[in-house]
Amino acid sequence: MSVLNSTVRILEIKGKLYCGNVTETQQQIEYALEIFNNVIINLNSISSMDMSGIFMLYLLIIKAKEKKKKIVFHGLDNQVVKTAMSVAGVRRIFVGVA
């Protein structure tokens, strides 16, 4: 993770995003949303993703809007992410956010 300036935080999710780690991952990202106005989530290093991972990302969009913060997803072209979102029928929700 790296910081561009005091208002932006870049977070990278690596490996699997699934029911076994989604709660911890969500807590870390929500903490970043408390501190920073803009959070960029890099999805390029995700190797597998289940529905709980997709739902967590969706919940983060809602949380960011409630807090009047901006969340941007980088790496939506990752084939694993693209396939999981397409199968779930939610890809268009995330494309509009970035």
Handedness of CA 60, 24, 52, 14 (dihedral sign): positive
Name 48's bridge partners. Answer: 16
Q: Is residue 69 pLDDT above 50, yes or no?
A: yes
pLDDT tens track for 15-67: 999 999 999 999 999 999 999 999 999 999 999 999 999 999 999 999 999 99
Counted residue by residue, the chain has a size of 98
Say whether pLDDT at 79 is over 60.
yes
User: How far is Cα 14 from Cα 63, in angstroms, rounded to an integer?
Assistant: 22
pLDDT, position 93:
81
pLDDT of residue 2: 45
pTM, 2 dp: 0.85
> Domain extents for the chain?
2-95
85-89 contact pairs (CB < 8 A, 24+): 85/54, 88/51, 88/54
CATH homologous superfamily of 2-95 equals STAS domain (3.30.750.24)
